[in-house]
């Protein structure tokens, strides 16, 4: 067991976005590759954005994907609690430590005052007001106020925040495992709030403290965090942890299919595809979504697809099981540029996995779908249907939807093709086929094929004038599995009855 430790640290503000799932996946793969530990931490420091149910959703999603954490919220472990709202005192203590060593300071400017300041600055032509080493000299904080007044304000319970005191003129540099050296001039960085007036830490403080305390060795997160990593390094420095801080890797973003910006929850409806792993039910229709699972995706396919969205092993193999991904994964092979969400590729992966899946496994998975449609069939029968249909299905649901005629009577006939092909005068020939079916023994595909071919020869019938009509009689459509295979699955009784009924119906179209 190596001491590699990584974390997935989502915020429970709603359903877990597919980009978040990929971040979790890469963390999981990296941990497994190195025999390390993958942990789940819930970053719920924003009380205002907390959404009930989101935490369970996150865990359910990881479970569905098969990438459950080894440690963390919902699992437990030596560094509990793993929910940041339950670690308030820890952050408070650490923030105070920074205040006392001069790396942070109290500030009393209210949100309203800051807004007003931004507006007045904007009116004066400065559109990028920052609370930084220059502007802090003119604000209400422990750097400008006399010590006794600061004490008084604190003592009387006035609202305050603690801000990071960013040095004026330094270069802060770190090595990103994906991007190489990245550096920032501290003069460009603002004095980030570390502790909010409600007593909660901001992400910036909490993630540094927790990553250190939880002995995280590698931070693998989205690119949206790259710009604030300068602050994070400054924080490690302020705590005296810079020499042992985690290695950073910033993942490229997943972009909209049209490439215009990062993929967002609204893109699902816009492009007719899922952007969440599982369904999410909110109060409004607009905020409720179906997930990959509800669309009929297999989790293995989603994982394979996601793994390849921004990563590539450098070989020409495209299909990878989770275990193979763990073996092949490396951070160095992650690409730097953002990757568009390629839904066609996702569907292709699903089709590949569907095709390769065992009939019985598929049967178990579509059973709820079949039952929901009111179909009452045995597991064995379901497996036979899967065997017939899986080669031409993209989604799990296709196995049920496209095979409706295997579960019940034909719902609609392809009348156009019937009219084109059916000749009432050959009804006797088709009746002869039905009679043939009644006696064919054994009732299997090779035997049926042989007998039908013999009969066609005897009566000088061409396959083209027989097979399409048999197909339509059994399935109603010109599409589907082999005619003889369908007959076997339907069984002798249903086949014969269905044929006779259909031929009578055909007569009514072409009298």
**String of DSSP letters for 236-256:** HHHHT-GGGPPEEEEEPPEEP
Least spacing, CB of residue 62 vs RNA, in Å: 16
Task: Please give the residues from 91 up to 110 whose contact with RNA meets the rule CB under 7 A.
Answer: 109-110
Asked if residue 450 binds RNA (CB under 7 A), the reply is: no
- Which position among 391, 424, 428, 491 is part of the footprint of RNA (CB under 7 A)? 391
Q: Give the tokens for residue 396.
A: 């799990």
* Shorter beta-carbon distance to RNA: residue 112 or 425: 112
Q: Going by C-beta distance under 8 Å and a sequence separation of 6 or more, which residues neighbour residue 504?
A: none
Asked if residue 377 binds RNA (CB under 7 A), the reply is: no
* Shorter beta-carbon distance to RNA: residue 379 or 447: 447
Asked if residue 253 binds RNA (CB under 7 A), the reply is: yes
Collect contacts of 201-205 with beta carbons under 8 A, ≥24 apart. Answer: 201/45, 201/84, 201/88, 201/91, 201/92, 201/95, 202/45, 203/43, 203/45, 204/164, 204/228, 204/231, 204/232, 204/235, 205/91, 205/94, 205/95, 205/235
Q: Is 384 a catalytic residue?
A: no
The total number of residues written for the chain in this structure: 511
- Which position among 23, 61, 141, 202 is part of the footprint of RNA (CB under 7 A)? 202
Least spacing, CB of residue 128 vs RNA, in Å: 3
Least spacing, CB of residue 471 vs RNA, in Å: 6
* Shorter beta-carbon distance to RNA: residue 360 or 394: 394
Asked if residue 72 binds RNA (CB under 7 A), the reply is: no
| Annotated active-site residue in 265, 270, 345, 423 | 265
Measure the CA–CA gap between 386 and 377, rounded to whole angstroms: 13
* Shorter beta-carbon distance to RNA: residue 308 or 375: 308
Which residue bears the tokens 């095709």? Answer: 355
Least spacing, CB of residue 163 vs RNA, in Å: 8
Specify the 3-state DSSP secondary structure of 123.
helix
Task: Please give the residues from 19 up to 58 whose contact with RNA meets the rule CB under 7 A.
Answer: 43, 45-46, 48-49
Q: Give the tokens for residue 181.
A: 């050296």
* Shorter beta-carbon distance to RNA: residue 33 or 130: 130
Specify the 3-state DSSP secondary structure of 209.
helix
* Shorter beta-carbon distance to RNA: residue 3 or 479: 479
- Which position among 35, 66, 227, 428 is part of the footprint of RNA (CB under 7 A)? 227
Look up residue 480 and give its DSSP letter.
S
Plot region of 102 (φ>0 → left; ψ -120 to 50 → alpha; else → beta): left
- Which position among 51, 226, 436, 497 is part of the footprint of RNA (CB under 7 A)? 226
Q: Which stretch binds RNA (CB under 7 A): 273-281, 294-302, 327-335, 501-509?
A: 327-335
CB 172 within 8 A of CB 166: no
Helix-then-strand count for the chain, H and E: 22, 12
CB 291 within 8 A of CB 278: yes
- Which position among 240, 261, 408, 428 is part of the footprint of RNA (CB under 7 A)? 261
- Which position among 266, 355, 373, 420 is part of the footprint of RNA (CB under 7 A)? 355
Specify the 3-state DSSP secondary structure of 46.
coil
Q: Which stretch binds RNA (CB under 7 A): 241-249, 282-290, 311-319, 501-509?
A: 311-319
Task: Please give the residues from 454 up to 473 whose contact with RNA meets the rule CB under 7 A.
Answer: 462-464, 467-468, 471
Asked if residue 507 binds RNA (CB under 7 A), the reply is: no
Task: Please give the residues from 158 up to 197 whose contact with RNA meets the rule CB under 7 A.
Answer: 159, 161, 179-180, 182-185, 188, 190, 193, 196-197
Specify the 3-state DSSP secondary structure of 455.
helix
Q: Which stretch binds RNA (CB under 7 A): 23-31, 58-66, 124-132, 439-447?
A: 124-132
Asked if residue 66 binds RNA (CB under 7 A), the reply is: no
Collect contacts of 286-295 with beta carbons under 8 A, ≥24 apart. Answer: 289/15, 289/265, 291/15, 291/61, 292/18, 293/64, 295/395, 295/397
Least spacing, CB of residue 284 vs RNA, in Å: 20
Asked if residue 310 binds RNA (CB under 7 A), the reply is: yes
* Shorter beta-carbon distance to RNA: residue 285 or 344: 344
Measure the CA–CA gap between 324 and 326, rounded to whole angstroms: 5
Q: Which stretch binds RNA (CB under 7 A): 348-356, 365-373, 404-412, 500-508?
A: 348-356
Asked if residue 318 binds RNA (CB under 7 A), the reply is: yes
Rg for the chain (alpha carbons), in Å? 32
The helix-helix angle for 483-490 and 463-475 (nearest 10°) equals 40
* Shorter beta-carbon distance to RNA: residue 11 or 37: 11
Measure the CA–CA gap between 61 and 279, rounded to whole angstroms: 10
Asked if residue 127 binds RNA (CB under 7 A), the reply is: yes
- Which position among 64, 79, 174, 203 is part of the footprint of RNA (CB under 7 A)? 203
Asked if residue 11 binds RNA (CB under 7 A), the reply is: yes
Least spacing, CB of residue 183 vs RNA, in Å: 6
Asked if residue 356 binds RNA (CB under 7 A), the reply is: no
Asked if residue 117 binds RNA (CB under 7 A), the reply is: no
The H-or-E segment that residue 194 falls in is strand 193-195
Asked if residue 344 binds RNA (CB under 7 A), the reply is: yes
CB 331 within 8 A of CB 178: yes
Least spacing, CB of residue 1 vs RNA, in Å: 27
Measure the CA–CA gap between 163 and 152, rounded to whole angstroms: 19
Which residue numbers are catalytic? 265
């Amino acid at each position: 067991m190596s001491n590699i430790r990584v974390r997935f640290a989502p915020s429970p503000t709603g359903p877990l976005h597919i980009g978040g799932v990929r971040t979790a996946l890469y963390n999981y793969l990296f941990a497994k590759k190195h025999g390390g530990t993958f942990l789940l931490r819930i970053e719920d420091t924003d009380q205002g954005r907390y959404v009930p149910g989101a935490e369970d959703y996150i865990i359910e999603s990881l479970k569905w994907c098969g990438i459950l954490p080894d440690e963390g919220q919902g699992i437990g472990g030596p560094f509990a609690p793993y929910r940041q709202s339950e670690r308030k005192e820890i952050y408070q203590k650490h923030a105070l430590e920074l205040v006392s060593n001069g790396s942070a300071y109290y500030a009393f400017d209210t949100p309203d005052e800051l807004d007003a300041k931004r507006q007045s600055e904007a009116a004066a032509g400065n559109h990028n007001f920052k609370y930084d080493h220059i502007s802090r000299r003119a604000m209400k904080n422990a750097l400008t106020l006399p010590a006794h007044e600061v004490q008084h304000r604190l003592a009387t319970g006035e609202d305050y925040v603690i801000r990071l005191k960013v040095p004026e003129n330094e270069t802060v540099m770190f090595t990103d495992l994906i991007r190489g050296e990245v550096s920032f001039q501290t003069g460009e960085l603002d004095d980030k709030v570390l502790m909010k007036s409600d007593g909660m830490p901001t992400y910036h403080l909490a993630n540094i403290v927790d990553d250190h305390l939880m002995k995280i060795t590698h931070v693998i997160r989205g690119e949206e965090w790259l710009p604030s990593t300068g602050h994070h390094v400054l924080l490690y420095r302020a705590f005296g942890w810079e020499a042992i801080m985690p290695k950073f890797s910033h993942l490229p973003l997943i972009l909209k299919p049209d490439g215009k910006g990062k993929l967002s929850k609204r893109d699902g409806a816009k492009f007719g595809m899922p952007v969440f792993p599982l369904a999410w039910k909110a109060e409004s229709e607009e905020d409720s979504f179906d997930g990959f699972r509800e669309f009929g995706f297999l989790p293995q396919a989603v994982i394979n697809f996601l793994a390849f969205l921004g990563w590539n092993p450098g070989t020409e193999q495209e299909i990878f099981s989770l275990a193979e991904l763990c073996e092949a994964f490396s951070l160095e092979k992650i690409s730097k540029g953002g990757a568009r969400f390629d839904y066609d590729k996702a569907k292709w992966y699903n089709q590949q996995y569907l095709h390769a899946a065992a009939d019985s496994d598929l049967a178990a998975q579509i059973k709820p779908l079949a039952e929901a449609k009111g179909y009452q069939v045995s597991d064995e029968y379901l497996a036979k249907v899967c065997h017939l249909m899986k080669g031409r299905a993209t989604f799990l649901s296709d196995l049920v939807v496209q095979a409706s005629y295997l579960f019940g009577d034909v719902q609609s006939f392809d009348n156009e093709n019937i009219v084109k092909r059916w000749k009432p005068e050959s009804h006797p020939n088709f009746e002869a086929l039905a009679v043939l079916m009644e006696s064919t023994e054994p009732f299997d595909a090779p035997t049926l094929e042989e007998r039908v071919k013999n009969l066609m020869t005897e009566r000088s019938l061409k396959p083209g004038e027989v097979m399409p009509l048999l197909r339509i009689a059994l399935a109603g459509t010109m599409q589907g599995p082999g005619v003889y295979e369908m007959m076997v699955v339907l069984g002798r009784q249903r086949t014969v009855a269905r044929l006779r009924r259909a031929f009578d119906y055909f007569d009514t179209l072409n009298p």
